[in-house]
Structure 1
Amino acid sequence: MTVAPQALLSIHDVMPETLRQTDSILKDVAAHGRRPPALLVVPGRDWDSGQISRLRQWQRDGCELIAHGWHHETQPRKPWHRIHAALISRNVAEHLALDPGGIADLMCRSREWFGEVGLVTPTAYVPPAWALGMGAGHLSPLPYVCVETLGGVHLRGSDGRWLFRRLPLVGFEADTRFRTGFLNIMNRLQCRHGRRRGLPVRIGIHPRDPELLLADALEQLLRQDWTALRYADLIS
């Protein structure tokens, strides 16, 4: 698996319970000479002042902080949500339990939290499991300029219009043999697509990935020669 010349590197599910794993991944990324990745922060967890100070330090060190849901946990009730949970998201795709109004409120509340605790307010948002749960037409009134989903990123232009840019995505959250096989195939296809089209590849790292079945593949990818992008680069 060979990644494209450019990649957007992010660590997902940054919350009080995962700060130790996040710190370890950050050190590994730095050891490979990479610029600090984006951190997808879950605001609605039980953060204390010391943990928020840690986020602030990571932000000073160059990490982009991105809004990532609210609780990052839900109970699937709708048929489609249950299917999605069984195949992909398990119990984390909280948008799928809400209507568009509820999703918009959650996204706004997620962004506001950063300013309330003294962090730089994010301009980008990634829903848990990349599951937005509503059409792009609902994005216009929201205070973001970049919203990432499974297929790519929605970007707000200078004229206020939203455009969708398809970007390949690779992931390593393989805790079963089935997921390992599936992700191996999908990652190769996504990387091949990125190379052929000259597109940046999104690399999503979850806190437990270095302990799971695709840890070696992740480490191999980090050793490859590619330039790290930021969400701000996509926006500009």
Structure 2
Amino acid sequence: MSFLTRSGKTKPAIVSLHDVMPDTLDDVRWWLTHWLADVPPADLTLLVVPGLDWQPAQLEQLRAWQQQGYELAGHGWQHRVRRISTLYHRLHSTFVSRQAAEHLSLSEAELIELIERNYQWFTDNDFQSPELYVPPAWALGQLGTTARRHLPFRYLESTAGFHDLHAGRFHALPLAGFEADARWRVPSLRLWNGLNRRVATAQRALRLSIHPHDHRYYLADDLQRWLQSGIQPINYRQVLHRTKAPQAA
């Protein structure tokens, strides 16, 4: 699949493949050999959920992908909420994240422990240490600015963009997603994606988030058109290191 339009115009996109888990590895492999086969490994980030029943052969597959150049990033612990204890979390779960936003309703201390455990899992299983952490559903929860500075990861991604924790800077970047597993999600996602694509520029690259089952969901044709309409994959560091960004609050 080509990422260049006939006119040669492209739009830079930070491409990530979410929810890399033991039971999604076959779908992840499909993406890497089909619709994302043209993406250079260095420009594609695989978001790994560590706290599941990973078998030795599955860990070997992850190591092989990392050795091929794909970047592995931390993505929660089990990608499933322990509890829902606030109205905001209940609304978020109903309309946005279902049971995925495991950061919400956890205390700051619980979040720090979860993120540190995520980071340590990569070390314990002989992976290169990751630099990026992405909370499930991009929901940071009660993770204050001071706590973020002491996390083992350098970068933290949220709905609005990337936090460079070493530099104390925030980079706002538009986001597009296609996880329409129900028809009622289609109109809102199409509107969201269209608006975010319009504000993407060479300095504000679009973040293109893909989930393992998106090729089976209601926006699969939309996603395929996006991938064929001038998306130019780019590593997120290329964007963060070349843009001037405001100091984080």
TM-score (norm 2): 0.87
TM-aligned CA deviation for residue 235 of structure 1: 5.2
Corresponding residue of 1:177: 183
Corresponding residue of 1:119: 127
Mapped partners of 1:175, 1:183: distance in 2:
11
Unaligned runs of 5+ in 1: none
Which range is displaced more, 71-80 or 47-56?
A: 71-80
Q: Which amino acid aligns with 1:129?
A: A
Name the count of aligned residue pairs.
230
1:219 aligns with 2:234: no
Which range is displaced more, 33-42 or 163-172?
A: 33-42
Unaligned runs of 5+ in 2: 242-249
Mapped partners of 2:178, 2:210: distance in 1:
7
1:192 aligns with 2:201: no
Say which structure is richer in helix: 1
Mapped partners of 1:232, 1:55: distance in 2:
22
Q: Check whether the contact 1:4–1:194 (CA below 8 A) recurs between aligned residues.
A: no
How big is each residue's C-alpha offset from its partner over 1:176-220, in whole Å with a ceiling of 9 and x where there is no partner? 22211100000000000114x741000110111000000011111
Q: Quote the sequence identity (%).
A: 39
Over the aligned positions, Cα root-mean-square deviation in angstroms equals 1.8
Corresponding residue of 2:246: none
Which among 1, 11, 16 is matched to residue 17 of structure 2?
Answer: 11
Which among 56, 64, 87 is matched to residue 79 of structure 1?
Answer: 87
Mapped partners of 1:176, 1:65: distance in 2:
29
1:45 aligns with 2:40: no
Q: Check whether the contact 1:11–1:204 (CA below 8 A) recurs between aligned residues.
A: yes
Q: 1:102 to 1:170 in 2, by over 3 A?
A: same
Q: Check whether the contact 2:205–2:239 (CA below 8 A) recurs between aligned residues.
A: no
Q: Which amino acid aligns with 2:229?
A: Q
Q: Check whether the contact 1:4–1:191 (CA below 8 A) recurs between aligned residues.
A: no
Which range is displaced more, 129-138 or 224-233?
A: 224-233
Q: Which amino acid aligns with 2:13?
A: A
Mapped partners of 1:113, 1:219: distance in 2:
34
Superposed, 1:1-236 pairs within 5 Å as 5-31=11-37, 33-36=38-41, 37-74=44-81, 75-133=83-141, 134-156=143-165, 160-195=166-201, 198-234=203-239, 236=241
How big is each residue's C-alpha offset from its partner over 1:43-84, in whole Å with a ceiling of 9 and x where there is no partner? 001101100000011111121000000010013232221111
